[in-house]
Structure formats: C-alpha cells, structure tokens
Amino acid sequence: MSARSSLSSRRATSATALSVAALLLLTGCFSGGSSGDGSTDERVELAMLQPPRSGLSPLSDDAFKLSRWSTAETLIRLDEEGNAEPMLATEWEQVDDTTWSFTLRDGVTFHDGTEMTTENVVESLTHAVEAEPAPRILDGVEMTVTADGDKVLVTTAEEDPLVPQRLSSPQLSVLAPAAYEGDAVTPVGHGTGPFELTAVDGTSGATLERYEDYWGDPATSAGIDVSFVPDGTARAAALRTGEADVVEAVPVGQAAQVDEELLEEVPMPRTNTLYLNTEKGPFADAGLRAAAREAIDPQSIVDGVYESRADVASGLLGPAIPYAAEGRDTDTYRELLDGRAEAGDPQGQKITIGTFTDRAELPEVAVQLQQQLEAAGFEVELEVREYQYIESDAIDGDFDAFILSRATVLDSGDPVAYMVSDFGCEGSFNISQFCSETVEAALDRAEGATPGEERQEAILEAEATILAEDAAIPMLHERVIQGEQDGVEGAARDPRERELITAQTTLAR
C-alpha cells in the first residue's frame, strides 16, 4: 500500500463532516524528511474554493489558480504596494510614449524542457493579445508584441503608463510553445514556476510536482495536491480535522468551529456590492436606485452575516487600498456625491435579486437585503444558484439587481481595470448595464494618469462619479479567512489573491 493510501485509510476513521468523496480528494502524504538543499518530500494538501470554469485556461480567471499554485509566471510581478518588480523579465524601460522594452531572464526553461526565448515569449503574449474574448487585463487595450534582438517590445495604440503592471497579470502568463498547439491553451507541463502542473482531474482536483530545474530557488515542498471544495462546511472540516494543510476562504459562519490559531484574517481589496440594472426594470429610475441605497443597512449585514469580520463600505475601494480612505476627505469627492438623485417611492415595485452559493455568506446577505428592501416598499424575489450557472445571466442583465463579492484590484494591481470592466460603457463585466458619459470621462482620466499621487486622485474621482449615479451600492469590504495548519510556513497571505503556495511554503511536522 502506498503512503498516500495508507494515510487515507488512517484518516477515514476520524470524525468528520466531509463526504466520503471529499475525504478521498483531500487525503495526502504527510510523512517525509528534508534533503541537504532544504527541500523535503512533504506535500502540501490544498483545499480551494472554486473549481476551474474554463479548463484552467490562462486566458480566463482560472489563471489565478495557476498563479496561486506557483506554476505559471509572468514577465513582471507586483510588490505589496503594487509597484512592478522583475520576474521573467529582469529590467524594462519606456522607449517612447507607446513602446516598452523588456529584457528577459537568462536560464529559464519551461516544464517540458524547452528553453524560454524571446521568440516564444512573443508567441505566448501575442496569443493572449489576439484571443477572443480578450483577457480582462487587455479589455479596451490595443497591444502588439514583437522581438527586438534579445528584447521583447510591447507597443500600445495609445500611451499606457501601466504596461509593466499589466504584464504582471496571471492572464498574461508565459507558457511553452506546445501549450498553444491544440484548440485550447494547455497549462499542464508548460509553465515556468517552481511547481509543475502534471495532472488535472476535471473539477475535482489537480496535482503539481516540484520542478527541479526551476530558474530560482527550488521549491521546499515536493508538490501540491489540490482539491476543489466549493462547499464551505467541507473546507472548514478539512482544516479542523487536518485533511488539508492550507484552506482557501474559510466561511465566516464556519470560523467559530475551527481553532482560532489555525485562522489568518487578511483584509481584501474585495467589496460585497449590490449591482443595480440601470438599463431596464425599476432601477432604470435613478430615484429608485437612490431608494435602494437609503434602504440598505450595511452595518447589520457586517454584524449579522459576517460576525464583524468585515468592514462597512465607505466606497467601492476598501481598507486594503491605503490611499482610498484619506482621498475621500476632499471637497471634490463630497461635491460629486452631493449630486446624487433623491430617493423615490418604491410603491411595491417588484425586483429580482440574484446571487450565488459559492461564497457561503452571499445567500444570507440576500435574505437580509430582501428584508431591508421590502421594509422600504419594494417587493423582492431572490434567485440563488451556483456561480457557474448564474454568471452569464448576470452579465446579460437578466436580474434587476445582483449581489457580487467583487475584487476591486484586478490583474494590474490597479483599481482602474476593475472600474472600466464593471462601469465602462464597453466593460466586459458590466452587470449594471451601465453607461454614462460623465463616468466614461472620469475613467479615461484615471486610465491616463501617471502612477502615484496623480493616479490615486483620479481613481477616487472616478469612484465618486460612479457612486453619484448609484449604479452599484457597495455594502462591505471583506476579509478573507485563510486556514493554515500548525506547522505550515511560507504560505502567502495575498490581498490580491495571486499567491498562495510558493516555493517557500513548507510543512514543519
């Protein structure tokens, strides 16, 4: 019997709330020792929130899984402040208003043994640029990628001060040429990171092994065994019983059932927001949008649903973005909000609110919102499904309102991408079906602003302009609860949800 099977048998006798299927997915090898170079044969057992929705295509949101497993890498990474740092590129410069030059790191090989060259980096990035639909980070951006000797040139149709930050997006990961030979991009065996993705079991799990020829320091752990566990109770049970070493997103409602020493609370750039359909239905009326805003009591939701493990929203951007709170204390910001419509009378207007079950708190939030809005005079019907079965309807505007837990700092580490995606007239994630010339102009200013104080001011002006239209009602800023067994060291606690298991993650048994 293998060590993995033996451990599974041993653990099957313990009391657990997991189903047998989930138990088998989460069992793993916990024995092992250390070698002379600091690496071990320990494997990290990881329970993740959502299964892949696009076959782990790096051109989709699944790219963040590849990034959190340290298997796919980008030319640039971001530091804690959102500044660009070297990764697969060691240095870069702006050649002219629209062109940037990147120097590649020497000695990088893909997991299939292919050497990383200027030509295959160009091929990889060009595939992303030409994809339909385009990766979210390139929403509204025209970009071409070419080789110039041993350098990669990135040219945009318009001046873009965030090109280096854009290239940090997991959706622009650089993969081996063989990844692009089929109808779909295949990340298995084609990344450059310290862990090689060797197998994917549909929506059940994935297996990664330490890549011995990694260009940087090799991974300490021998590999990662990933299980996709959408059920929050099961994830919490996996942490409580030791079936998982690291657990992504322990639900607030389950936190009390777990030893507090195993929980790490991380403020997130993620806002729980009620998007209102501004194109059709009752919320096409600005007065009724204002009525909904005034009816909602976020504090009761924070206290009742999130057990005070969240922050009441003061805007679209939360405390994980340090400059946001201070920047709102200006005359310009207050004047923009003073221009909001006055609340109308709902008079029994019927509205349908949609949300999803994958984040355990959202159905509870929906019930509280239903009660608050009905108290204000609306008649509310709820529609709750798994995210994969409701996303397209939400984007198509099939609901009067939709509750979403939304990351506000997306791929570039900059809030402008989120604002353009959600509130731009051509935004790819415009659940509110919203289009405003005033907001569009504010977003244009923010997009063109130089990183730093100028850009921060433009971002907050755009936020105030969006809020003045009541296209969305921010309710609270989330804190993710990450589970880590005693002895887990080096797991990333990343507000941007890009990193989780790194080359430094190890298990001290």
- State the pLDDT at residue 370: 98
Q: Considering the domain boundaries, does residue 250 fall inside one?
A: no
- State the pLDDT at residue 480: 87
Q: Considering the domain boundaries, does residue 316 fall inside one?
A: yes
Q: Do 317 and 376 belong to one domain?
A: yes
Q: Considering the domain boundaries, does residue 262 fall inside one?
A: no
Q: How many domains does the chain have?
A: 3
Domain boundary residue, one of 180, 211, 226: 180
Inter-residue contact 433 to 280 (CB < 8 Å): yes
Output the CA angle 190-196-202, nearest 5 degrees: 80
Q: What is the CATH number of the domain that holds 232?
A: 3.40.190
Q: Do 85 and 66 belong to one domain?
A: no
- DSSP result, 370-393: HHHHHHTT-EEEEEEE-GGGTHHH
Q: Do 412 and 454 belong to one domain?
A: yes
- pTM exceeds 0.75, yes or no: no
| Separation between Cα atoms, residue 500 and residue 71, nearest integer Å | 11
Taking each helix axis from N to C end, the angle separating 453-468 and 331-338, rounded to the nearest 10 degrees, works out to: 20
The tokens for 62 are 């699944």
Q: Considering the domain boundaries, does residue 232 fall inside one?
A: yes
Q: What is the pLDDT along the chain (509 residues), one digit of tens a residue?
A: 333 333 333 333 333 333 434 444 444 433 345 555 667 789 999 999 999 999 999 999 999 999 999 999 999 998 876 788 999 999 999 999 999 999 999 999 999 999 999 999 999 999 999 998 888 888 778 999 999 998 999 999 999 888 999 999 999 999 999 999 988 999 999 999 999 999 999 999 999 999 999 999 999 999 999 999 999 999 999 999 999 999 999 988 899 999 999 999 988 889 999 999 999 999 999 999 999 999 999 999 999 999 899 999 999 999 888 788 878 988 999 999 999 999 999 999 999 999 999 888 999 999 999 999 999 999 999 999 999 999 999 999 999 999 999 989 866 778 988 999 999 999 989 999 999 999 999 999 998 888 778 888 999 999 999 999 999 999 999 998 999 999 999 999 998 889 999 999 999 86
Residue recorded with tokens 């240095």: 91
Q: Do 119 and 44 belong to one domain?
A: no
Domain that holds residue 427: 267-479
Q: Considering the domain boundaries, does residue 326 fall inside one?
A: yes
Q: What is the CATH number of the domain that holds 359?
A: 3.10.105.10
Q: Do 431 and 406 belong to one domain?
A: yes
- State the pLDDT at residue 37: 62
Q: Considering the domain boundaries, does residue 187 fall inside one?
A: no
Q: What is the CATH number of the domain that holds 137?
A: 3.90.76.10
Q: Do 328 and 383 belong to one domain?
A: yes
Q: Do 64 and 80 belong to one domain?
A: no
Inter-residue contact 478 to 404 (CB < 8 Å): no
Query: Which of helix, strand or coil describes residue 459?
Result: helix
Q: Do 475 and 497 belong to one domain?
A: no
Q: Considering the domain boundaries, does residue 319 fall inside one?
A: yes
Q: Are strands 472-484 and 263-276 parallel, antiparallel or unpaired?
A: antiparallel
Residues written for the chain: 509
Q: Do 289 and 438 belong to one domain?
A: yes
Inter-residue contact 138 to 221 (CB < 8 Å): no
Q: Do 271 and 234 belong to one domain?
A: no
Which long-range contacts link 341-345 to residues 24+ away (Cβ below 8 Å)? 341/286, 341/287, 341/289, 341/290, 341/470, 342/287, 342/290, 343/287, 343/290, 343/291, 343/293, 343/294, 344/285, 344/287, 344/288, 344/290, 344/291, 345/291, 345/377
- State the pLDDT at residue 33: 52
- State the pLDDT at residue 24: 43
Q: Do 168 and 213 belong to one domain?
A: no
Inter-residue contact 491 to 501 (CB < 8 Å): yes
Q: Considering the domain boundaries, does residue 185 fall inside one?
A: no
> N- to C-terminal Cα distance for the chain?
22
